[in-house]
Chain A
Amino acid sequence: MTSAGPVLGLTLMVAAWLAAAPVTARPRPEPQAERIARGQYLFDAAGCLGCHTDEVRGGHRLAGGRPLVTAYGTFHPPNITPDPIYGIGSWTDAQFLRALRHGVSADGSSLLPTFPFTSYTLMDDEDILNLKAYLMTQPPVTQPNRPHQLKDSFALRLMMPGWRLWFLKSGPLATNPYRSAQWNRGQYVVRALTHCAECHTPRGWSGGFDESRAFAGARANPYDEWAPNLTPDRETGLGTWSDADLLLLLELGIRPDGDVVGGTMAEVVRNTTSRLTLADRRAIIDYLRALPPIRSLPEPAPDP
Chain B
Amino acid sequence: MTVCKPPNVIAVMLAGLLVLAAMAVPAAGAGTTAGRDTAPVIEQRQQEFRKMSAAMRMIGHYLKNEGANLTDVQTAAESIRTISRRLAPLFPQGTAVGVGNSGSRLQIWQQWDVFTERAATLTTAAARLAAAAAAGDAAQTRARVTEVTQACGGCHELFRKKLP
Contact = CB atoms under 8 A, between A and B. Distances in A.
A256 B57 CA distance: 7
Contacts of B160: 262-263
Given A260-B156, A266-B154, A253 B149 contact: yes
B109 to A, nearest CB: 16
Contacts of A267: 157
A70 to B, nearest CB: 18
A71 B133 CA distance: 48
B53 A259 contact: yes
A253 B148 CA distance: 11
Interface string B103-143: 00000000000000000000000000000000000000000
Q: On chain B, which size bracket covers the interface?
A: 20 to 34
B156 A263 contact: yes
Contacts of B153: 253, 260-262, 266, 269-270
Interface of B: 52-60, 63-66, 145-146, 149-150, 152-158, 160-162, 164
Given A226-B164, A252-B146, A259-B56, 12 more contacts: A223-B161, A248-B60, A252-B145, A252-B149, A254-B149, A256-B57, A258-B56, A262-B157, A262-B160, A263-B156, A263-B157, A263-B160
Contact of B56 (A225, A245, A260, A262): A260
A270 B157 CA distance: 11
Contact of B60 (A225, A254, A274): A254
Interface of A: 56, 223, 225-226, 242, 244-245, 248, 252-254, 256-263, 266-267, 269-270, 274, 298, 300
B57 A258 contact: yes
